[in-house]
Each structure stands twice: as C-alpha cells, then as structure tokens.
C-alpha cells in the first residue's frame, strides 16, 4: 500500500477533523457553516477566518510541503477537480443560522454551491484536504 493511499485513508477516516479544528478556532466555536473559497486572491476581512488546504494538511496530518512544487501540485489538483482551495468562517457571527423548532440546516448546505454546513454532511472541506495532500505527496522534492 502506497504512502499516498495510507494518507488518503487516514484523511477519509478523520472526516470530522477539519470541522472540529475550524469550529474550535476562537470565536468560530459556535459556527456550523463555512464558505468554500475557489481563489486565495480574494478580498480579505478581519471578520473572516481563512483555512487553506495547506493549513488543513498541516493541522490534521502534520503534513508540511517540502518544496514549492508540492504546494503548487496540491493547488493545481484542487483546481483541476473543481474543488475549493480554502474555506472561510465568519469570525464575528454565525451566518446561515438554521431556523425553526428543529434547527435543521438548509438541505442545500452540503451541495458545494455556496454556504456549506458541517452538520448537513458536507464533505467539501475534507475532499479539499485529501486531494491537496494526495497531489503534493506525488511530487519528489529531491534534486
């Protein structure tokens, strides 16, 4: 079994890990949703906490790219698959708060087209990390 396969299985087995860290990050503790980012060059704001695919790989697997080529390969793979390159969580307030007695999130909140809900089964952030790590690991940084 290749190292890449082992990492992918570990990532899939720890699907909730990315959500757990994102949710535990300071004021984001009460947050249950995020916005996928398809570019890291967008406007920034102190109201939003940004977690890139590279951040997720380091936070959850201790995977640190050894060279710029690994980083580029990870992001190239995400773009090729149409996956986000990062996620952002509003640090000032909970957006998209579910309404009603049952407090059920919007059923469209796990469709990859806007506001995503961790609790609605969204795996977009997990797919982002799996893809980034898998592509980065395939690059040999040795000269």
Cβ atoms of 11 and 60 within 8 Å: the answer is yes
Per-residue CA distances from 52 to 22, 72, 106, 112, 142 (Å): 11, 13, 25, 16, 25
For the stretch 25-41, pLDDT in tens is 433 334 567 889 999 98
In a domain, 142, yes or no: no
CA–CA separation, 112 vs 38, rounded Å?
Answer: 11
Sequence-ordered list of residues with C-beta below 8 angstroms from that of 57, at least 6 positions apart, any chain: 63, 64, 65, 74, 129, 132, 133, 136
Sheet with 86-90, strands from edge to edge, namely 48-52, 86-90, 33-37, 116-117
Domain-located, residue 143: no
Higher pLDDT pick, 135 / 34:
135
* Alpha carbon distance 13, 35 (integer Å): 23
Q: Quote the number of domains for the chain.
A: 1
Kindly state the percentage of the chain with pLDDT values over 90.
37
Domain that holds residue 11: 3-137
Q: Is the pLDDT of residue 80 over 90?
A: yes
Compute the distance between CA of residue 129 and CA of residue 12 in angstroms, rounded to an integer. Answer: 10
Please give the average per-residue pLDDT across 89-104, as a whole number: 61
Note whether residue 43 is domain-resident. Answer: yes
Direct distance between the N- and C-terminal alpha carbons of the chain, in angstroms, rounded to an integer: 25
pLDDT tens figures, 8-24: 545 444 444 444 444 44
pTM over 0.75? The answer is no
Question: What is the band of 113 on the pLDDT scale with cuts at 50, 70, 90?
Answer: confident
Residue 25 domain-assigned (yes or no): yes
pLDDT tier at 95 (50, 70, 90 boundaries)? low
Residue 51 has a CB neighbour count (10 Å cut-off) of 22
């Amino acid at each position: 079994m290749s190292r890449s396969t082992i990492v992918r299985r570990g990532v899939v087995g720890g699907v909730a890990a990315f959500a757990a860290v994102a949710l535990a990050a300071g004021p984001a503790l009460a947050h249950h949703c995020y916005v996928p980012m398809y570019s890291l060059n967008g406007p920034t704001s102190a109201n939003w906490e940004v977690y890139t695919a590279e951040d997720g790989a380091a936070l959850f697997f201790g995977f640190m790219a050894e060279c710029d080529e690994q980083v580029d390969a990870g992001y190239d793979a995400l773009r090729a698959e149409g996956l986000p390159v990062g996620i952002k969580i509003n640090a000032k307030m909970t957006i998209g708060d579910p309404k009603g007695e049952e407090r059920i999130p919007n059923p469209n909140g796990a469709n990859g087209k806007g506001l995503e809900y961790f609790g609605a089964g969204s795996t977009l952030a997990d797919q982002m990390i799996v893809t980034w790590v898998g592509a980065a690991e395939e690059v040999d940084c040795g000269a």
